[in-house]
Amino acid sequence: MTVKVRTRTRNGRTRWVADIHARLPDGTVHRERRDVPTATSQRSALRWARSRERELIRNGTKPKKEARTCPTLAEFADAFIEHVRARGRKPSTIDNHQTNLRVHLLPRFGRVRLDEIDETHVASIVELPRVSPGTRNKILATLSALLRSGKAKGHLREVLRISHIPSPKKPAAFYERADFERLVAAASVLGHDHLAIVLLGGEAGLRAGEMAGLHWRSVQLTRGVIVVEHSFWRGHLTTPKSNRYRSVPLSERLSSLLCAMHPERRGETVLARDDGSLTGRNWIRHRLWQAQSRADLPPKGAHTLRHTFCSHLAELGAPAAEIRDYAGHSSVAVTDRYMHLAPGRRSSIALLDRAAAESKLESEPGGATDRTGADPAPAHRPKKKRK
């Protein structure tokens, strides 16, 4: 076989080029033209070319890399969960993704490759029967996160944009002042734990997980505040929702209750079992239902107490930004759900009532617009015709 070298000029630069004919181990003849790297003379270029010829005769050409195929949704599901876990997402978020995959996505799209997921698959989720818009949005959020993870892993070049389904925001259910006071009175009879649940939710705005994870070291009785820095969920002690730490001032009766509970504390948390271990949502829900039953109120979840906290503050005229900070909302847009109760909203409508009352007063007999009385006189009288 032959090996030749020659020079080639390109873009003003001269390079040595090797032209190699070699018989490969399988008997085929292979021709290869390549630029000789770091060659400064014909001799060095020829030396490199003969070395390359021997390599081809001994090893042959390297097989081409097989095209990398995109995995299906089922093949990528475990890698997606590991990616989400590695990014430090909360256990509740990971559990929500796993549930959406197991119940909705894998049965429908498990055999579909990631690069084949398009608007038709999204539309099939949007049109799911007997599924609320909120649940559908959670499924879409899992699918969107999975596709973004696929791009981060190099399986996708572009990510399909997925829009959430607009859903109407219903007014949050809360306890009126009289009903809340009945609940407080019933809880105070049942015990400190029952009353603490009602007041931590209704006068401090804590979520159920934040109640379960509230440590005594976060209760600053001398300063009159509690620092919400933990949330307990299914055995995991994590940070509050959206990783938002906050300080909430203590009301007088919540402060008095915590002062009474502090000497007889059973564990590191305010709400603890008899053996000092952490409680959970079911433990809190059971005691709240006992208080609601005693107060002759329908059973509701602990989040109703949080709605009560925000609604009562809005009714009393607290600024939206202050309610947002106390409740730990991600933005004022979330707090606006309660601001229809603000007294300033009602005072604007009162202007219409006052205007209607003034118009009615003017139209009554003897009023400014009365035409039957002698006074006041009409502004214009017709002229008498001359005879």
* Residue 110: per-residue pLDDT: 93
What band does 384 get if pLDDT is binned at 50, 70 and 90? low
- For 261, the enclosing helix (H) or strand (E) is helix 252-261
Q: Cα 74 to chain center, whole Å?
A: 24
- Asked whether the beta carbons of 364 and 370 are under 8 A apart, the reply is yes
Measure the CA–CA gap between 269 and 361, rounded to whole angstroms. 63
Question: Considering the chain, what is the average pLDDT of its residues?
Answer: 87
* Residue 375: per-residue pLDDT: 52
Question: Average pLDDT, stretch 105-111?
Answer: 93
CATH 1.10.443.10 fits 177-335, yes or no: yes
* Residue 309: per-residue pLDDT: 96
Q: Which amino acid appears at position 211 of this protein? A: M
* Residue 58: per-residue pLDDT: 82
Q: Give tens-digit pLDDT for 122-158.
A: 999 999 888 888 999 999 999 999 999 999 999 998 8
Residues spanned by CATH 1.10.443.10 within the chain?
177-335
Q: Hey, which residues does 19 pair with through a beta bridge?
A: 4, 33
* Residue 199: per-residue pLDDT: 97
Question: Average pLDDT, stretch 344-349?
Answer: 70
- For 363, the enclosing helix (H) or strand (E) is helix 343-363
* Residue 63: per-residue pLDDT: 58
Question: Average pLDDT, stretch 336-362?
Answer: 80
- Asked whether the beta carbons of 205 and 309 are under 8 A apart, the reply is yes
Measure the CA–CA gap between 283 and 270, rounded to whole angstroms. 13
Q: Give tens-digit pLDDT for 280-289.
A: 999 999 999 9
Q: Which of 44-48, 72-76, 363-367 has the lowest mean pLDDT?
A: 363-367
CATH topology of domain 73-152: DNA polymerase; domain 1 (1.10.150)
Q: What is the CA radius of gyration of the chain?
A: 38
Does position 227 have pLDDT exceeding 60, yes or no? yes
Q: In the 8-state DSSP scheme, what is residue 11?
A: T
Question: Average pLDDT, stretch 231-244?
Answer: 89
* H-assigned helices in 60-161: 73-86, 91-100, 106-109, 119-126, 133-152
- Tell me whether residue 379 is exposed, middle or buried, using C-beta atoms within 10 angstroms of its C-beta: 0 to 12, 13 to 18, 19 or more: exposed
Does position 352 have pLDDT exceeding 60, yes or no? yes
Does position 376 have pLDDT exceeding 70, yes or no? no
What band does 65 get if pLDDT is binned at 50, 70 and 90? low
Residues spanned by CATH 1.10.150 within the chain?
73-152
* Residue 64: per-residue pLDDT: 53
Q: Which amino acid appears at position 32 of this protein? A: E
* Residue 383: per-residue pLDDT: 57
* Residue 367: per-residue pLDDT: 58
Measure the CA–CA gap between 15 and 48, rounded to whole angstroms. 14
- Asked whether the beta carbons of 330 and 233 are under 8 A apart, the reply is no
